[in-house]
Chains A and B, each alone.
Chain A
Amino acid sequence: GNSVTQMEGPVTLSEEAFLTINCTYTATGYPSLFWYVQYPGEGLQLLLKATKADDKGSNKGFEATYRKETTSFHLEKGSVQVSDSAVYFCALSDQGSTLGRLYFGRGTQLTVWP
């Protein structure tokens, strides 16, 4: 079946520190991979995505590379800001199906201190 495992939080960093949030997946087909971000009191927003192996998704300084050999999609940012404090969710959509539902990891709370 399909599942996503991401690193447990919370993650606490100082401003300008390097961020990595690990995400690995199990999928029966060829999934598309996503990172969503949830700011306090808001819904989920798509941060970035990758639809095939070796694709790199990037947005707002965040990036993640679809690694089929390690079934991973780790999120990185070189220099975090206080405004990046949020919960980050790794997710997959089974590309082989017509359903389109998302399978989410448990989320990682990131807090950035000035």
Chain B
Amino acid sequence: DSGVTQTPKHLITATGQRVTLRCSPRSGDLSVYWYQQSLDQGLQFLIQYYNGEERAKGNILERFSAQQFPDLHSELNLSSLELGDSALYFCASSSGPNTEAFFGQGTRLTVV
């Protein structure tokens, strides 16, 4: 158990819909990262938050957004979903840069 909790584990939704993925980092970790894992793109970094503030953006679509709350949990919002958004979405947390990142078990999103 990495200590990072992601909910839900599985999500099936229709095209055009909006979903929210939730991540609770390890106790004490201030950094939260979101990654998307798909067969064609591999593991892609989406966005990072540190203590409530956005720190880095990767290949995140404009239809996607995220935030980190005062209790340090984070949510990834995906809207106007397309079939191609079907993927495994991972959250990771770390206590700081260049320290080990701990990954959650992921949320498998299927868009039908």
> Which residues does B use to contact A, with CB under 8 Å?
2, 4, 31, 33, 35, 42-43, 45, 48, 55-56, 58, 90, 92, 94, 96-106
Contact = CB atoms under 8 A, between A and B. Distances in A.
A36 B37 CA distance: 14
Interface of A: 32, 36, 41-46, 49, 51, 89, 93, 95, 97-107
A104 B42 contact: yes
A58 to B, nearest CB: 15
Contacts, number: 59
A2 B63 CA distance: 26
Contact of B97 (A42, A45, A97, A105): A97
A45 B103 contact: yes
Contacts of A107: 42-43
A99 B45 CA distance: 12
B97 A98 contact: yes
Contacts of B94: 100
